[in-house]
Amino acid sequence: MSDKNEITNLQDLLGDITQPDEADKIEYVAVIGAGVMGQGIARTISAAGIDVVMIEKGEEKIEEALQNLTRSMEHEISRWAMTKSEMKSILSRIKWSLEMEQVKDADFVIEAVEENFELKKEVFRILDKIADPDTILVSNTATLSLTKIAEVTKRRDKIIGMHFLNPVPKVSLVEVVKALETSDDTVARTKKFAEKIGKTPIEVYEYPGFVTTRAIVPYLNEAMYILLEGVASAKDIDLAMKLGYNLQIGPLELSDSIGLDEILFWMQELWNALGEPRYRPCPILRQMVRDRKLGKKVGAGFFKYDKDGNIID
């Protein structure tokens, strides 16, 4: 081997060693939507040492989100699950803004607005114009078509789903959802990012409900039918499932935690897309949503809750 070849190979080797990983380049992430999921996602990313900008459409929503995020961490401090210095550190890395222009320098952009197809399409249309062409645009949708959302952009290969589960900081799983034209590079970079923020990614292909939503909806729906038919009380249904199957939370409290309006939307989307009876929403769910008994976030659903989200007997 010639000296010239040796030098070239050494340079290649050093290049491989010093080349930074794509996930390691992520220092600034934008989260669109400061609802429950957006707050959880931002907190999780910040806890991993990454700066975050939370973008919302009104000062009142930002103030409410900041109060809720602070309150949830203060509750954990009271349970010795977090220290005050950890909370201060997390909040110091989260910036709040009303301006979509803030995504211009973001390494990753995560959309976490409400589960509304037209709204999400409009958000992605705007993001595509503002964000750097190489930036991956992520949706946290649980049921909607990423392929159709991607159609409004000029970067279909860089559109992907990251379906986080609530509460985001505590659930280690995230579904990485590949749309029709999502590139393998986008999938790989997104999975590495997920690992960097402490999540275990599972790769799934776009299909109504993916894995987690599709599997959990019939379980929750059947528990509601059991309640509707008077087989047992809500308390005893949950107790039976927790003790009988070694679960940490029963189906009705889980429904309250997710939000009954959110679950109704999931069921309607799956029912419309797949037409299978197991996804047809239980009448009691429709009634509770009409009555605005939406679960823990409003203090009442199948159970009543105090300000810390604990069931009131």
List per-block mean pLDDT (blocks of 10 residues) for the chain, which spans 313 residues.
Answer: 52 51 77 95 97 95 94 91 95 96 95 93 97 96 92 97 93 96 96 97 92 95 98 98 96 95 94 93 97 94 90 88
CB 180 within 8 A of CB 225: no
pTM beyond 0.75: yes
The pLDDT assigned to 1 comes to 47
User: What are the two backbone dihedrals, phi and then psi, of residue 287, each rounded to the nearest 5 degrees?
Assistant: -65, -45
Q: Both tokens of residue 225?
A: 């039918």
Query: Cis ω on the peptide bond leading into residue 169 (within 30° of 0)?
Result: no
CB within 8 Å of 307: residues ≥ 6 apart: 299
What's the per-residue H, E or C state across the chain?
A: CCHHHHHHHHHHHHHHHHCCCCHHHCCEEEEECCCHHHHHHHHHHHHCCCEEEEECCCHHHHHHHHHHHHHHHHHHHHCCCCCHHHHHHHHHCEEEECCHHHHHHCCEEEECCCCCHHHHHHHHHHHHHHCCCCCEEEECCCCCCHHHHHCCCCCHHHEEEEEECCCCCCCCEEEEEECCCCCHHHHHHHHHHHHHCCCEEEEEECCCCCCHHHHHHHHHHHHHHHHHCCCCCHHHHHHHHHHHHCCCCCHHHHHHHHCHHHHHHHHHHHHHHHCCHHHCCCHHHHHHHHCCCCEHHHCECCCEECCCCCECC
Q: What pLDDT score does 66 carry? A: 95
Strands, sheet with 159-164, edge to edge from the N-terminal-most edge strand: 94-97, 51-55, 28-32, 108-111, 136-139, 159-164, 173-178, 200-205
Specify the length of the chain in residues: 313
- Give residue 307's pLDDT: 82
The domains found in the chain, sorted by start residue, are 23-205 (3.40.50.720), 213-298 (1.10.1040.10)
Cβ neighbours around 12 below 10 Å, total:
10
- pLDDT for 117 equals 92
